[in-house]
Amino acid sequence: MMVLNVVGSTTAGLVADMMQRKTVLTLIYSLRGCAFIALLLLPGNLELWVFAAVIGFSFMATTPQTVSLTADIYGLSALGIITGMTVLVRQIGGASGILIAGYLFDVTGSYTLPFTMAGFLLLPAVLLSFTIKEQKYSARYQTWPKPAPVLSGCNNNQSITGA
């Protein structure tokens, strides 16, 4: 899975430099949702292999998109605090998810419910990432006025017209 993490995050970063980052982020979350569906529906050990491969590819692939979108929309001066808060919330969610999944397994004797919940919780992530107004707010798509041309060949004793 770690090799696929490297491949996924590198590939997603390269692709996001060529197209809208929100589109790549949406596709990654959708792909991850498909992994949970595969885990629940595919037979035997195939489910585990497909899940591990897709999650491995998509798990860290959201990081370049999230950090890039944050920098593009909020600027570099706010990047540290926003990324720090995002990582904090992600870690709290991850730790809580593990505890809830363990509790639900103890209660139901199966991981079906926790994995179903995890898959469904990706729906808001897909919808929210898709609705980011990247072209409106991202510095990447802003047009800046062109600087005035620098006149060459003039010295302090000449005017622009050469008189």
Buried b (16+ CB within 10 A) or exposed e, 123-149: eebbeebeebebeeebeeeeeeeeeee
User: Is residue 158 in some structural domain?
Assistant: no
Q: What's the rounded Cα separation, in Å, for the pair 163 and 158?
A: 6
Residue 38 confidence class, pLDDT cut points 50, 70, 90? confident
User: Is residue 151 in some structural domain?
Assistant: no
pLDDT of 35 over the 70 cut:
yes
User: Is residue 127 in some structural domain?
Assistant: yes
Q: What's the rounded Cα separation, in Å, for the pair 52 and 58?
A: 10
Quote the pLDDT of residue 109: 95
pLDDT (average), residues 34-51: 87
User: Is residue 161 in some structural domain?
Assistant: no
pLDDT of 81 over the 90 cut:
yes
* Helices (H), ranges, 17-111: 21-41, 46-58, 62-74, 79-108
Residue 162 confidence class, pLDDT cut points 50, 70, 90? low
pLDDT of 41 over the 80 cut:
yes
Parent domain of 85: 2-133
User: Is residue 144 in some structural domain?
Assistant: no
User: Is residue 46 in some structural domain?
Assistant: yes
pLDDT of 150 over the 90 cut:
no
Q: What's the rounded Cα separation, in Å, for the pair 128 and 121?
A: 12
Asked if residue 67 lies in contact with residue 90, where contact means CB atoms within 8 angstroms, the answer is: no
Tokens of 86: 């995002």
Averaging pLDDT over each range in 50-54, 141-145, 148-152, which range is the top one? 50-54
Domain count, the chain: 1
User: Is residue 156 in some structural domain?
Assistant: no
Asked if residue 1 lies in contact with residue 35, where contact means CB atoms within 8 angstroms, the answer is: no
* Helices (H), ranges, 109-142: 112-130, 134-137
User: Is residue 121 in some structural domain?
Assistant: yes
More confident call, 3 vs 160 = 3
Residue 136 confidence class, pLDDT cut points 50, 70, 90? confident
CA angle centred on 85, ends 128 and 59, rounded to 5°:
60
